[in-house]
Amino acid sequence: MELEAMVLKFPLSFKRLIPKTPPSPIRLGFRKLSASSSPTTLQSALLGHSTRPDFPILDQTVNTSKLVYLDNAATSQKPTSVLNALQTYYQTYNSNVHRGIHWLSAKATDEYELARQKVANFVNSTGSGEIVFTRNATEAINLVAYSWGLDNLRAGDEIVLTVAEHHSVIVPWQIVAQKTGSVLKFVSLTEKQMPNLEELKEILNSRQKTKLVVIHHVSNVLGSVLPVEEIVGWAHDVGAKVLVDACQSVPHMEVDVKTLGVDFLVASSHKMCGPTGVGFLYGKSEVLGSMRPFLGGGEMIVDVFLEHSTYAEPPSRFEAGTPAIGEAIGLGAAVDYLSGIGMKSIHKYETELANYLYESLCSISKIEIYGPKPSETLFRAALCSFNVNNVHPTDIATFLDQQYGVAIRSGHHCAQPLHRYLGVSSSARASLYFYNTKEDVDTFIAALKETISFFTSFQGIFSEEAAAAVQSLLLVYAKDDLASLCLWFDDIKKHKDMHWIDVLHLADTPDLNITGLMLNLISNRMDLGVSRLLAIVVELFVSKWIPMYQSGVASCSG
């Protein structure tokens, strides 16, 4: 193949464009101040279109294309009402809580505790005393691990999880197991790529050693939904507690902690239209009351003496120091917003959109979607993780962003054990929220097809002569590290079945510095994509190599 023809396979625009672009139940004596009211209820069959104007971030252009945001499992966007709540707090009543007697402090305390009550109502907790504000769901899980786990787990006790858990669920219990001698048991997946419930029951009933079951409600990779109420029943029958990671369920469906019967449940604000920096732990009051503090400091105490201290009742016991006040108030505003729409409406709309996404992806050849297939009897969450044969997921995500303004996730999604179980190192993931539309899905699918076509067009086009030419060219522009480069290319040659495009998969660089690029290559950053390197190679082909090749200056030998 002529080099000129090969160059035409690369779009000249293939470079990243930077766009210019109520009163506190813990402290007595505060005045009762007015609190925020909930918005009017939205009713629309086309929920994505009716709510979209509430999210100003979605109305922008990214890399010359209209933004299509499909990374909601990582974080959600924020409605204007939440942004306004944050601004109002900082502009009109910014103060510390549970401390001052002045008007600002009283107002801030009232709004902060009102936000706690809103969250309690949202998950149908018995009362606000069962809601602990944390930095995020990760901290909430660690709180349970250290405050409950270290005191209640002994050598030989079993903690049951699934292979599909988020790192934030696995790692804290690994640490606790190392400290206590307790044992982690992992439930595998069925052929439908769902956690094996029969295996879970067998573990619970066979040895009667389980003290804690830690599970997701909705998998952030598989999109599968676990029957939490049923699992809680099995666990309680053998005397085990249950902790549920509800980060991917609380934003998308009704979650009722009383109905589920869970002992602990965690979620993050930023995935449910609220600010970053705040999450919450739900814990049954009798369990929280038996737990020691997680952190020591101000406001989690009753009295401090030089010899010892006495601790406040929950939730104050677990909220040492100044909390994320504005962020908690913003979370309260997010709860108002979601409640105004109605979680049943959100769930119904997202289920329909999720099925459309799944079916649309299934229309693409050589694609593998992870997790169960949705059906009339099997609900699947509004996300799809997938891989395309011979196309790296990071390349897919980068190209979708740079060429089409479509934002998806690539990587292991903080679930490396699950990806290893599935036999892959990473995947691409598109995840929806109620402000997404059918048009968003259509744009994504069309862009994905173009992206796959672009990358698969390279397979097999690089002859040995072309590969040697590219090698020679890169050596010319990386003289500072010539010896290391030669060693690197010798190593590459050992992989006889590797296409030249696969060699390009080994590198990624944040700029156009060729020496830096080569150092990245040598460091074997195997899980990164080809996209930025392609941009560099294209530039060199067009500006340097073809003129040199045509003039006979460059050699095609390695």
Active site residues: 414
Q: Is 352 exposed, middle or buried (0-12, 13-18, 19+ CB in 10 A)?
A: middle
440 three-state secondary structure = helix
Residue with tokens 């029957």: 227
- Which position has the token pair 């016991």? 317
The residue behind tokens 């609190």 is: 35
List all residues 6 or more positions away from 359 whose beta carbon is below 8 Å from its beta carbon: none
441 vs 143, 274, 354, 404, 437, CA distance in Å?
38, 24, 9, 13, 7
What contacts 31, CB < 8 A, 6 or more positions away? 23, 103, 106
244 DSSP β-pair partners = 215, 265
Q: What is the spatial distance between Cα 259 and Cα 125, in angstroms, rounded to a whole number?
A: 10
Among 326, 335, 337, smallest CA distance to 89 is for 326
Ramachandran assignment for 387, one of left (phi > 0), alpha (psi -120 to 50 degrees), beta (any other) = beta
Peptide bond into 315 cis (omega under 30): yes
**C-alpha–C-alpha distance, residues 160 and 549, integer Å:** 63
CA distances to 200, 214, 269 from 264, in Å: 19, 9, 17
**Interhelix angle 393-404/531-540, nearest 10 degrees:** 60
